Amino acid sequence: MINGRKTIGLILCGVTGNYQKDLCRSMIHSAGNRGYDLLVFNIIGTIGRDYKGYADHENNFAEIIPFDKLDAVIFDNSNVVVREFRELLYEKLSRISCPVILIGFPNEDFYEVHFDNLNGIAEMVDHFVEHHGFTKIGYMSGIKDHVDSVQRLEMFRNTMKKHGLNEDGVGIFHGDFWYNYGEEAADYFWNKCGERPQAVICANDYMAVSLCDAFENMGVKVPEMISVSGCDGVYEAKMHCPGITTVDKDNSLMSEKCLEIIEDLRNGRPHERVSILPTTNRYLTSCGCVSPADDDVRRKANESFANTLEYLYYIYDTESAMLEMNKIDSAEEIEDTFAKYGVNIGLYDRFFVFAYVDDNDKKSYEQSITAPTKMVYPALWIDKIGTTVRPEKFDVSTFLPADTSSEPLCCYISHIHFGEHCFGYSVIQMHGDEPFNEFYKIWMVNIAVSFETLLHKNSIRALVSDLEKESTHDRLTGLLNRRGFEQRSDIAFREICNYPERSLGAIMIDMDRLKNINDIYGHAEGDFAIRKLAELILSCCENGEIAGRTGGDEFYVLAPDYDQEKAERFADKLEKVLAEFNASSGKEYTLNASCGYFVKKVADIERLEDLLKKSDEKMYSAKRKKYSDIRYN
């Protein structure tokens, strides 16, 4: 899709998690080895511990994923926190013709690839019972209705029963698959169970890490006083001291199996709907099987220090960027700020943001847009390798501009929105196979906030502009009103006064017999006549004249650099366009106006009011001459 090659779409939530990053690396290798481009659609989901406001408005992301242009889709649905969004994606995926593979929650409508975590949990119970001789085992489960929680807890109970032990062990505590409940769980297992456990098996590594830390803070040594294990083999568990005993998963097996299924299905070869991949239990320090060597502890400490130092610099860049982003007044300034401070996201080759454009050609940060539109505009464009030509606005179905790179590419796509406002989507291509880090999500949120700020600023500017125009312009004709004409004329007069050799003209125009039109044909027709005369006056202004409606049927024109000939030409043209209108209008009345003008050298003008007064006198003189035998209004 990007450059004519086959394209796989990988949809997942939270690219910056270490499991997801490892999955992306494996998918990049497996897809690239087979000549596929990879588009990673990054769902941001919940921000922080509790904020779900961003995730609640990500449904529009599903509307822009170009399913019909993808050759296969891999969907990791395990971390998609908004059920409605997950169901919307299911509905869309069920209608596409290319292979679709799920690697999270099971769904019998699609192909599935899963790791055999259940066997790993069973082997973990076996290990504690048979190898360590434990009979008092607790279990820390995840979110109660989460499919992994339900299945892993059931396997724990079945295996405990197999060994003739209470199926709930010494107690079951429900966490959230994250770090948040470590202290509560530690207090429960150590102080509130009927019997203190010899070991606690956790349904994933994040909870195991938090539980170990909480035990250590309580003075309960792991593994000397209690053993702990996890599941999933995440990076944080491997780097933790003590190292977490876990059920390890090799994502290269996952990516290779997904690509194998895709190749089989695309080539008409049948494949089983569900594939189960093996796991490997790693028995490390937290269960007492490995004693941490001093050099290993130092290695982890040194790496931790290096990461901490690097992240400090990243934080400094983020703080600087936030201060700069707070001052932005245009999308170009956002682009400049990202180019300068975006070094903290990792090495990248390209970064684009495509903003939605409405039917009036207004961009999403200029006019409120609450759903994806048909057109997008490249609002931010950083291309370090220069193989993509920056387009003008283009159809959203095109999704990405064509690229001339010869190698398979991987691009990460994120939807940018703030509340109900949809701004567009970002595209980043990292250098090499390392995904971006957590700071990229901060950038996406900050760009969304900056676009929201721009939207408010543009709304305020538009409101101020409307108010200014309303205060200086005539609502009926759109010309300057008396206040606006005086302001503009005063500025023009002060400017031209610096050039005493130049001349200045003033033209006064008064509609004839407006009262008759109002009395006979009504005020609506009178208003039409005033608007038409204003339009005709404006059509005669071709050389920087300033025109205004200064009264009910009175108009002024200030004309810099007019001489007598130009003024006469203006009056003749006005008479001509009036005649042309009367000949073709089909009105029962004729539209007429009297015109007077006065031109004088700037050096001889003391006050602008005197010039305008002279044009008044000329106009009234012309009107008296025209209607010397008729009483005029």
Q: pLDDT per residue over 289-328, tens digit each?
A: 987 554 455 445 445 544 555 666 677 677 777 778 877 8
**pLDDT single digits (tens) 187-208:** 999 999 889 999 999 999 999 9
Contact 97, 106 (CB under 8 A): no
What pLDDT score was predicted for residue 313?
Answer: 64
Provide the CATH number for the domain formed by 7-109+298-458 in this structure.
Answer: 3.30.450
Type of residue at 503: S
User: What average pLDDT does range 426-447 have in this prediction?
Assistant: 90
What pLDDT score was predicted for residue 69?
Answer: 92
Q: 391: buried, middle or exposed (CB in 10 Å: 19+, 13-18, 0-12)? A: middle
Interstrand relation of 274-277 and 111-115 (parallel, antiparallel or unpaired):
parallel
User: What average pLDDT does range 330-347 have in this prediction?
Assistant: 89
Residues 66 and 88: their CA atoms lie apart, in Å, by 14
What pLDDT score was predicted for residue 4?
Answer: 76
Which has the minimum average pLDDT: 127-141, 143-157, 217-231, 566-580? 143-157
Q: Which of 17, 10, 61, 13 is nearest to 32 (CA)?
A: 10
Contact 365, 379 (CB under 8 A): yes
Residues 579 and 590: their CA atoms lie apart, in Å, by 9
**pLDDT single digits (tens) 39-80:** 999 988 766 555 566 667 788 889 889 999 999 999 998 878
Q: Which CATH superfamily is domain 115-292 in?
A: Response regulator (3.40.50.2300)
Q: 535: buried, middle or exposed (CB in 10 Å: 19+, 13-18, 0-12)? A: middle
Query: How far from 75 is each of 241, 433, 514, 584, CA to CA, in Å?
Result: 33, 20, 73, 67
What pLDDT score was predicted for residue 632?
Answer: 44
- Chain-wide mean pLDDT for the chain? 89
Q: Which residues contact 361 (CB under 8 A, 6 or more apart)?
A: 393
Q: How many CB atoms lie within 10 A of CB 114?
A: 21
What pLDDT score was predicted for residue 275?
Answer: 96
**pLDDT single digits (tens) 348-404:** 999 999 999 999 999 999 999 999 999 999 999 999 998 888 999 999 989 998 888
Q: How many Å is the maximal CA-CA distance in the chain? A: 125
DSSP code at position 604: G
Q: Which residues contact 451 (CB under 8 A, 6 or more apart)?
A: 331, 334, 355, 364, 365, 416, 418, 421, 423
What pLDDT score was predicted for residue 2?
Answer: 67
Which residues of the chain does CATH 3.30.450 include?
Answer: 7-109+298-458
Which residues of the chain does CATH 3.40.50.2300 include?
Answer: 115-292
Provide the CATH number for the domain formed by 482-626 in this structure.
Answer: 3.30.70.270
What pLDDT score was predicted for residue 306?
Answer: 46
What pLDDT score was predicted for residue 59?
Answer: 84
DSSP code at position 288: T
**Which residue is associated with the tokens 């009107």?**
623
Which residues of the chain does CATH 3.30.70.270 include?
Answer: 482-626
**pLDDT single digits (tens) 149-169:** 999 999 999 999 999 999 999
